[in-house]
Structure 1
Amino acid sequence: MEFRQLEALKLIIDTGSFSAAAKQMGVTQPSVSSQISALEREFGCRLLTRQPGRAIPTETGRALYRYAEEILALRDKAIATYGSHREMSGTITIAASSIPYQFVLPVLTAQFSLQYPDARFHLAGGDSTSAAALVLAEKADLGMVGTLPPSPKLLCEPIMEDELMVLAPAQPPYTQWQQQPVPVEDILAAPFVAREEGSGTWAEVEHYLTHQGYEGGALRVVTRMDNPDAIIKAVEQGLGITMLSSLAASEYMRGGRVLALPLAGGPVKRKLYLIRRKDKTLSAITEAFARFAARRTNRA
């Protein structure tokens, strides 16, 4: 039994619905549902009766609600009494793939430090595969990745959505592509600047091509780079086109330095995940950051 599971139960009963509880917690509705399912497995019975648009507590659910109120009140009292001391300081180690490492975590860590000035961070950059490996090896407390890791040992919470965009040099012939969504055949015919294999971005590019009836090998890859800024600068100089995160491209798009082109078949969206080991108890400061990150990113 965990605090966040009791928080989910209490808020569902208070608000009457999973969606309202998820909104107050700053997480997704599936995340709240998984917390309740875990509680129900632990107690071996239903705690809530699901009905269209609302949730009603069972007799056991009402009894546990009263205990949850007491437990959470005691937790809050302990944090208020001791949270500003040793327990709310220390180093938080986070492994991240390149997009959250460069464009999400710098903002989150700065904002968190305003509330917890004794927090220290160690950030390890890489791709989604290597970030998940560091969390599994307990060399990082948390991870932030763009691809859902396959390991059953990890708890993976979707915390924000990102969109892949086709980026091209702001010069002919690519300026003509702005008139209509770019067919996949035009993307395959153009020189392509790709992310490294193992990155979440490259996995999503391959996923998109598969849905269009092609493979990643069909692209005319002229070079691979593991740094999003380097890729966009190469595109800006005319080396080729790319598909990259809107988080990475926003600054270049605002300045008109590259073209953001509509993609045939609609937008390609993906989720960014906050990951942790299921069996690892996090320090108070790390747990506080995990809750903070989920609230801030889901609000964005």
Structure 2
Amino acid sequence: MELRQIETFLKVAELGSFSRAAERLGYTQSAVTMQIKQLERELGARLFDRMPRGARLTDQGRTFAFHAREAIAALERAAASVRIPDADADQLVGTLRIGSVESVATALLPTLLARFHERHPRVELIVSTARLERLAEGVLDNTLDVLLTMDRKLSIARLERTVLREEPIVFAASLQMAQQIGPVRIDELAGLPLVLTERGESYRHELECLLAERDEQLHPVVETGNTETLVHLAEQGVGISFLPRFSVAHSLRRKSLVELACDIEPISMWIQAFAHEAKPVSRAMAAFMEMLRVHFEYTA
């Protein structure tokens, strides 16, 4: 088994295409096909299902991809360790791939990333945002090292969970709209002008469940997955937002938004981090997880 075969395999897995992998690597398509066939013969396993418009990893292919990425990462760490001058030998190096849901990425990650970079400037940080299901797949196939989400306490197969902090979800509106509407009442909720995150998001789902018990539905003025956009819309008086308190904390402090009282049972979600239960923990990942624990304990 040669390193170039593994690199070719991972590029096909990333792009889902033999032809695109060949173009990206500077090989002919037949060369890529030959390398994958040689690898499959050596492993005694079919790694890809060949599709009319690409290639999809088999179950065995996904398992091999997880360990192959870890092997490549280990080689990169080994190479980096001997390139560093002796004076910097204790500094952390490598790449940390972080996946996050939009609300956490927008409101919390910038501070965390800046703090981590200040302490460990040689660690490259790569951040991806997506829905939870996609992020979990990324951790499972080793394209992400850790994911951050905010939801009910979750259990995800083969992922190890760290619960960081409980976070209240609040209604917030511009001062003018707050004065017009007053406290939020559940029997009036369906008729209020709301600016909400996408359907299926954890805290919106909780709101929808409350209304479903009353045979009512939400009809938001605007819905978008970008929480920063929702905050700006609420500040401009377009509607009432229903967001984690950390997402509107800055606006509440400068009084561009006010938190609305409501007669609904308080809704909270949990900020949680997940990593693969079988993945070796690098020094960079251990440092990041420790920083998360300290940060959220301090700011609870």
| TM-score interval (norm. to shorter) | 0.5 to 0.7
Q: Look up the SS of the partner of 2:108 in the other structure.
A: helix
Aligned to 2:119: 115
Aligned-partner residue type, residue 159 of structure 1: L
- The answer to whether the aligner puts 1:165 opposite 2:170 as a matched pair is yes
Aligned to 1:175: 179
Alpha-carbon offset, residue 251 of structure 1: 1.5
Alpha-carbon offset, residue 146 of structure 1: 0.8
Cα distance, 1:170–1:86 mapped onto 2, change above 3 Å: same
Matching of residues 216-227 of structure 1 within 5 Å? 218-227=217-226
Give, in whole Å, the separation in 2 of the partners of 1:223 and 1:217.
18
Which protein shows a greater Rg? 2
Cα distance, 1:217–1:281 mapped onto 2, change above 3 Å: farther
Q: What are the superposed Cα offsets for residues 271-292 of structure 1, whole Å, 9 maximum, x if unpaired?
A: 1001101111121211221122
For residue 190 of structure 1, the aligned residue among 185, 189, 192 is 192
Say what the alpha-carbon RMSD is for the aligned residues. Answer: 2.6
Cα distance, 1:177–1:84 mapped onto 2, change above 3 Å: farther
Matching of residues 242-261 of structure 1 within 5 Å? 242-261=241-260
Q: What are the superposed Cα offsets for residues 48-95 of structure 1, whole Å, 9 maximum, x if unpaired?
A: xxxxxxxxxxxxxxxxxxxxxxxxxxxxxxxxxx99637821111000
For residue 139 of structure 2, the aligned residue among 114, 135, 140 is 135
Give, in whole Å, the separation in 2 of the partners of 1:142 and 1:92.
8
Aligned to 1:232: 231
- The answer to whether the aligner puts 1:279 opposite 2:278 as a matched pair is yes
Aligned to 2:30: none
Give, in whole Å, the separation in 1 of the partners of 2:196 and 2:216.
11
Give, in whole Å, the separation in 2 of the partners of 1:152 and 1:283.
21
Aligned to 2:129: 125
Give, in whole Å, the separation in 2 of the partners of 1:102 and 1:142.
17
Query: What stretches of structure 1 of length at least 5 have no aligned partner?
Result: 1-81
For residue 104 of structure 1, the aligned residue among 102, 108, 130 is 108
Using the size of structure 1 for normalisation, the TM-score is: 0.64
Conserved? CA contact 1:87–1:285, under 8 Å: no
Conserved? CA contact 2:98–2:125, under 8 Å: yes
Conserved? CA contact 1:191–1:240, under 8 Å: yes
User: Percentage identity across aligned positions?
Assistant: 19
Aligned to 1:206: 205
- The count of corresponding residues between Structure 1 and Structure 2 is 213
Q: Look up the SS of the partner of 1:220 in the other structure.
A: coil
For residue 148 of structure 2, the aligned residue among 136, 141, 144 is 144
Q: Look up the SS of the partner of 2:176 in the other structure.
A: coil
Alpha-carbon offset, residue 262 of structure 1: 1.7
Aligned-partner residue type, residue 141 of structure 1: D
Give, in whole Å, the separation in 2 of the partners of 1:132 and 1:83.
38
Q: What are the superposed Cα offsets for residues 154-176 of structure 1, whole Å, 9 maximum, x if unpaired?
A: 1111112221110223224x315
Conserved? CA contact 1:206–1:216, under 8 Å: no
Q: Look up the SS of the partner of 2:262 in the other structure.
A: coil
Q: Look up the SS of the partner of 1:88 in the other structure.
A: coil
Cα distance, 1:138–1:217 mapped onto 2, change above 3 Å: farther
Cα distance, 1:237–1:115 mapped onto 2, change above 3 Å: closer
Alpha-carbon offset, residue 236 of structure 1: 2.3
Deviation above 3 Å: which 4+ runs of structure 1?
Answer: 211-217
Q: Look up the SS of the partner of 1:218 in the other structure.
A: coil
Query: What stretches of structure 2 of length at least 5 have no aligned partner?
Result: 1-85
Using the size of structure 2 for normalisation, the TM-score is: 0.64
Conserved? CA contact 1:182–1:261, under 8 Å: yes
